[in-house]
């Protein structure tokens, strides 16, 4: 968070709360990043955009702004993010109805899949100060891609907790014991939990996370993460996605999308570097932006 040079703030003139602006102001006050305001629309919103820009400039922020449209909301955001070199996208999340989600892929799901940088979806007005931050990792996946993503999730959670002067909690879900499992360690709940706890020791030591703030739970991650978020009254949940783009990625889905509407906190979504590189190439092709 501290190394950010530019933050893309997606504005929606239909949403009067400006929750994204409030979060952007908080992060920019620490990172000294430039704020780039975007209204993704074909309609004229110059007066609205100018008002927000002037308000932020009056508070000492470095602010640029534009209105643009490239075929769809998520593609517009990705094009502008790459063109401006933004290291973070902040957008207010507006949940779709269950019927609409069944018929159409929600815009914020597409944004989480296709945006080539971290995305902060703001869901509440709750202040971050002094609050709990929940980082969700899957230590059961030990391949290099997941290990690298886990490190990024914990690091971002640690930085947000430091920014908010709050506490970092970590959750990882493990499968139920199966007597028929080939590995004896997965035949008993106690040995499964011990293995998962051992896998957490390194980042616990690195980021000074006590056992009381490590939550190793049995069950599906998409049910456990919202439950623990609610129990902790977390202000931010940091989660990763390794979902691939294209038809196979759309069919597979991923935990980040499933839990988005269920979480009662803001949500920061991260991706592995190789997926970021791939998405940057796609944006460069579609938007004629230099990679």
My answer on whether 239 and 180 are in the same domain is yes
CA-based nearest residue to 69, from 10, 17, 157:
10
Kindly state whether residues 241 and 171 are assigned to the same domain.
yes
User: 125: which residues sit within 8 A by CB, 6+ positions away?
Assistant: 17, 19, 22
List the structure tokens of 174: 């493990």
Would you place residue 280 in the very low, low, confident or very high pLDDT band (cuts 50, 70, 90)? confident
pLDDT given at position 102:
62
**Shortest CA distance to 258 belongs to which of 241, 273, 271?**
241
* 285 within some domain: no
What does 122-142 look like in DSSP terms, one character per residue?
E------TT-EEEEE--TT--
Q: Given its phi and psi angles, is residue 268 left (phi above 0), alpha (psi -120 to 50 degrees) or beta? A: beta
pLDDT digits (tens, 9 = 90+) for 230-255: 999 999 999 988 655 544 444 334 77
Across 63-91, b (16+ Cβ under 10 Å) vs e yields: bebebeebeebbbbbbbbbbbbebbbbbb
Provide the 3-class DSSP secondary structure of residue 163: helix
Structure confidence at residue 212 (pLDDT): 94
Among 118, 145, 179, which residue terminates a domain?
A: 118
Compare 2 and 150 and report the one with higher pLDDT. Answer: 150
Evaluate whether residue 278 is within a structural domain.
Answer: no
Q: Is residue 85 located within the same domain as residue 188? A: no
pLDDT exceeding 70 applies to what percent of the chain?
86
Closest CA to 67 of 36, 89, 23, 94: 36
Q: What is the pLDDT of residues 119-170, one digit of tens each?
A: 999 999 999 999 999 999 988 777 777 778 888 999 999 999 999 999 999 9
Domain that holds residue 254: 132-270
What confidence score (pLDDT) does residue 178 get?
57
Mean pLDDT over each residue of the chain, to the nearest integer:
85
Domain containing residue 232: CATH number: 3.40.50.12370
User: Are 112 and 201 within one domain?
Assistant: no
């Amino acid at each position: 968070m501290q190394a950010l040079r530019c933050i893309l703030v997606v504005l929606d003139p239909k949403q009067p709360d400006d929750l994204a602006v409030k979060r952007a102001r908080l992060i920019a006050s620490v990172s000294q990043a430039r704020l780039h305001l975007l209204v993704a629309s074909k309609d004229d919103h110059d007066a609205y955009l100018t008002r927000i820009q002037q308000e932020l400039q009056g508070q000492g922020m470095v602010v640029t702004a534009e209105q643009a449209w490239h075929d769809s909301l998520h593609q517009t955001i990705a094009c502008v993010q790459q063109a401006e070199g933004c290291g973070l996208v902040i957008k207010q999340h507006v949940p779709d109805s269950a019927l609409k989600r069944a018929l159409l892929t929600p815009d914020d799901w597409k944004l989480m899949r296709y945006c080539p940088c971290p995305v902060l979806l703001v869901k509440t007005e709750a202040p971050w100060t002094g609050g709990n931050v929940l980082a969700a990792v899957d230590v059961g996946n030990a391949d290099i891609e997941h290990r690298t993503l886990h490190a990024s999730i914990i690091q971002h959670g640690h930085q947000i907790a430091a920014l908010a002067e709050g506490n970092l909690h970590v959750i990882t879900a493990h499968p139920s014991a199966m007597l028929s499992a080939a590995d004896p360690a997965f035949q008993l709940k106690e040995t499964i939990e011990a293995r998962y706890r051992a896998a957490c020791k390194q980042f616990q030591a690195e980021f000074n996370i006590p056992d009381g703030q490590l939550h190793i739970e049995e069950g599906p991650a998409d049910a456990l993460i919202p439950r623990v978020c609610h129990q902790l009254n977390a202000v931010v949940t940091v989660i990763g996605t390794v979902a691939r783009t294209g038809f196979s990625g759309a069919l597979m889905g991923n935990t980040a999308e499933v839990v988005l509407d269920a979480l009662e906190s803001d949500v920061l979504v991260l991706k592995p570097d190789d997926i970021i590189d791939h998405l940057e190439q796609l944006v460069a092709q579609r938007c004629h932006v230099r990679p």
